[in-house]
Amino acid sequence: MYGANQSMCQLMVELRTKYNIQPVVLLSQRGEICEFLNQNNIPYYVSHFYWWVNADKGFFQKLLNYRKQIRNLFRMPKLLKLIEKEEIDLIYSNSVTINIGFFLSSKMHRAHIWHIRETLQAYDFKYSLPDFVVKRIFDKGADKYIVISDFLSKAYTGFLPENRIKRIYNGLSLDTQNKAATDFEGILQVAVVGIICDQKNQLDALEAINILKSKGTNNIRLHFIGGNKEDYLLQVKHYIETNDLQDNVVIHGHQSNVQSILADMHIGLVCARDEAFGRVTIEYMLQGMPVIASKSGANEELVLDGQNGLLYELYDVDELAAKLEFFVENPIEFKAMGILAKDYAEKNFSLEKNTDAIYGVIKDLIGNS
């Protein structure tokens, strides 16, 4: 239930509530999302199928990946039989990691929307098939490709047909009670939300805090909120222990209610590389928090440098330290940016705006039926 699934779940509820579009979900395995679907009375089916992207682990793994794609084709009759009683008008794929939607739409002769929410580079994935086959599938794969940022659109240049790409930013609910920008007194609480892994790059934050501590600035506390990749978490813990940062860092682990923690935070930090959108960036802003983000991926589309936050060069920890120190030394600018961040997020990234734009794509493909 990270960003992509959260966005999909919110979208399904909104489309059903506002436009009477009835979702039916096909999952390759059970997970936390099933609880959400049960609670919201959304029908779903679970039947295994494989991704068409994988980590690149040599020739033998490549042969296994080819085999998985062949097995997906053999599973098509079972998948079709599973959903044949549903009156399906349109197929909607929620990730670039799966191509099963393309095969279903081809067999069922239904329109297909492929919503791409990630880059492969961010997770060190590669396609399981040769590039010329991938391009052919993308050429025929969907009637419309939705991407969640301009960065993502550029990342798929040469693969996706340009005339079928539409950029629609993610949207978040504005219904929850969000705090306004607060004055900073005492310790500056900095939120770093996201799975602890190489792509999210939490080590930048740790190194910046260590630089500030060595200069005598010891009133900043980092809060890592999210699950982890074990090998990277070990690096993080080793750095904390080696540099005696135990009093400067709190590791919260996975939290089901992140908003309750953000209510006590002052600044949001995004150190990620190749971030396709940055849902958490908007979550920070909706809490009235200015954001410090790396100049990577879509961060520069969301964070307007000097207005609703600050940008730094990816991996330049000295610059990041300087940006953190700026907020410590300039409480007036800190509060002003927080107010602008909240206003900017509410105007540009509402769930309603996102739902209406996606409904427009659906309506264009299947008319008023």
**pLDDT of 25-46, one tens digit each?**
999 999 989 999 999 999 999 9
Task: Give the pLDDT score at 183.
Answer: 66
Higher model confidence: residue 330 or residue 368? 330
Q: Write the CB contacts of 25 (distance below 8 Å, at least 6 apart in sequence).
A: 12, 33, 37, 42, 43, 44, 45
Averaged pLDDT, 259-264: 90
* Pairing status of strand 53-55 against strand 125-127: antiparallel
Of all residues in the chain, the percent with pLDDT exceeding 90 is 81
CA–CA dist 249, 241 (Å, integer): 10
pLDDT band at 164 (very low <50, low <70, confident <90, very high): very high
Whether this prediction's pTM lies above 0.95 is answered by no
Under a CB-based contact definition with an 8 Å cutoff, are residues 341 and 184 in contact?
no
- Domains contained in the chain, CATH given: 3-171+351-366 (3.40.50.2000), 188-348 (3.40.50.2000)
Chain segment 333-342, per-residue pLDDT in tens:
999 999 999 9
Q: How far is CA 213 from CA 187, 203, 220, 237, in A?
A: 13, 15, 9, 17
- H or E stretch covering 308: none
Single out the residue of 357, 183, 194, 167 nearest to residue 284, CA to CA.
194
Q: What is the DSSP string of 219-271?
A: -EEEEEES-B-HHHHHHHHHHHHHTT-TTTEEEEE--S-HHHHHTT-SEEEE-
